[in-house]
Amino acid sequence: MGDQQFIIGTPMSEMLAGMELDGKDPATLELGSNYVLHFLYGYLPAPPVSPTATRSLSGVPRVPDGVDRISRLPHAVLVEILSRLPAKDAARTAALASRWRPLWRMAPLSLVDSHLLPDGGAAGQFPIGVPSPRAVTAAVSLILEAHPGPFRCVHLTRSTMEEHRGEISRWLDILVAKGVQELVFVNRPWPMDLRLPATIFSCSTLTRLYLGVWRLPDTAAVPRGARFPNLKELGLCMTVMEDRDLAFMLERSPVLEFLVIMGSQTGVRLRLVSQRLRCVQLGHALLEYIDVADAPSLERLFLSEIVPPGKLRSFRKRNNDNGSSMIKIGRAPNLRVLGYIQPGQQELGIINTDVVAGSKEKIVPSVKILAMEVQFGDRNAVKKVPGFLRYFPNLETLHVYSPTISEESTSKVSPKFWQEGGPIKCVVQSMKKVFIYEFHGSRSEVAFLKFIAETGRVLEHMVLLVANECFSSGDDNVRAKLKPLASVKWNNQACKVQLFKSRRTNPGGPVYSNKIASDFGFADPFDLLGHY
């Protein structure tokens, strides 16, 4: 992620010219733009219809009398069938028989622009540099005009919107008038900050909205009565947004339950005041602060690949002098799942004053599952871990991701460090499971695990995913790294230890699934071992 001023508001032609002057290969800009698209589409929800569904009747026994019994079904059933087909296939049913001709116009339509391509979108997203498919853009306009609505879902991701400004304004006008329920609207860059028409705020029928590579409308000019009364899920991916515009969208979405902010082009300063919000995902973004001021329904808060302000030159003089992101947790009585917290790069400000057994400590007693990213070779990061854990006295499951380090740090903490700070309540009384990912066998890692094992009274499982690189010198090397754990004096002798070889071969942050994160059918969204 580069300096925001390097991207925002700069035309592609100017970017290319500047790179040539600096002696840089212009092809890298195209490569970077394609990476943006690849990243973005990974976070978009899948459409509810697919052109690849099996429609062959070759294996179905034929009715002896040859009667078309499907066409004899009630209108309501046929309309429901059509609403579950891609728009192109639903329209083709008009050629079947007179009974079917008016039904397409009666069915709530699912329009996915990639389905209008000759291959139905099987080839994936168009790379930057490939011309925008004007035939698809024209077909979208035709379908939106011809169908009376409502639209069950509309996914528009294949057009370079800069080339079709007139069409996108008209599209939004039609979608507002015809009651779109789910909208995924992506601008294929460039430019990265094309202004989204303010008409979007008139889509009062929306229940799900995902926006990609846009600059949010200037809400100062939006009518104060504009709102999303039915919006339950909002996704903002690679967007440019002012603080007031983001706050406006959240304030005008009274029933919002799921919020996804991925790859924001600008620094994120997020204040959460919502009665219905259940899950927040924030990732691949510059986070200045997140303030959970009043969110009584919030159950899950995810932070993935967060960049602290101090990492970018343009933010060094703003807010936090130490360059850390600030995470404040105020009223969130149902917050159960939290992570990935990064000691040393993020600061926790617990302003929650829930009282537990007469204690007035600033704690979050509701959190049961916590994920942390701990650089065990960084003394300052490790020294913050006990303080973080003390905020969560009822923690039951701890996930720790240990990033790869080039060499053992000379400023590591002493093994006695974990004992010197005194007991940590959750470790002693409530922690049942500990997972450590990309375990390298460093002394700092081993000291941490020994502390957990020798202190935890109710610890039931310890799971180690050993870094793939540890196996490069053979199994003996792995056994040598694990040998110090053999001397552990387990507080709970019944604790089970499991070892796995990590499948990861590339560096990066913790493994994370945004789909699983918002799926409440998974009790522990960080335990990807169990999910896959």
* Region for residue 230 given its phi and psi (left: phi exceeds 0; alpha: psi -120 to 50; beta: otherwise): alpha
Task: Return phi, psi of residue 515, to 5°.
Answer: -70, -45
Pick out the chain residues at pLDDT < 70.
1-20, 26-33, 53-69, 71-72, 75, 79, 83, 90-91, 93-99, 101, 119-132, 189-190, 310-323, 352-360, 405-412, 507, 530-532
Question: Which pTM does this prediction carry?
Answer: 0.86
pLDDT at 54: 47
pLDDT at 81: 72
Q: How many residues does the chain have?
A: 532
- How far from 102 is each of 106, 149, 174, 527, CA to CA, in Å? 7, 13, 21, 49
d(Cα 48, Cα 87) in Å, to the nearest integer? 12
pLDDT at 50: 76
* Region for residue 441 given its phi and psi (left: phi exceeds 0; alpha: psi -120 to 50; beta: otherwise): left
**Residue 170 contacts residue 145 (beta carbons within 8 Å):** no
Beta strands in 188-317 (DSSP E): 208-212, 233-237, 258-262, 268-273, 279-283, 287-294, 300-304
In the three-class reduction of DSSP (H, G, I as helix; E, B as strand; rest coil), residue 204 is classed as: coil
pLDDT at 318: 42
Structure tokens at 375: 């650089």
Task: Return phi, psi of residue 364, to 5°.
Answer: -120, 90
pLDDT at 30: 62
- How far from 277 is each of 34, 153, 202, 513, CA to CA, in Å? 33, 23, 22, 20
Structure tokens at 44: 């978009």
Q: Is the dihedral of CA 319, 321, 326, 331 positive or negative?
A: negative
d(Cα 5, Cα 370) in Å, to the nearest integer? 35
pLDDT at 121: 59
Radius of gyration of the chain (CA): 27
pLDDT at 7: 45
Cα-to-chain-centroid distance, residue 375: 23
pLDDT at 160: 79
- How far from 24 is each of 1, 12, 37, 192, 226, CA to CA, in Å? 17, 15, 22, 20, 46
pLDDT at 519: 93
pLDDT at 316: 39
In the three-class reduction of DSSP (H, G, I as helix; E, B as strand; rest coil), residue 149 is classed as: coil
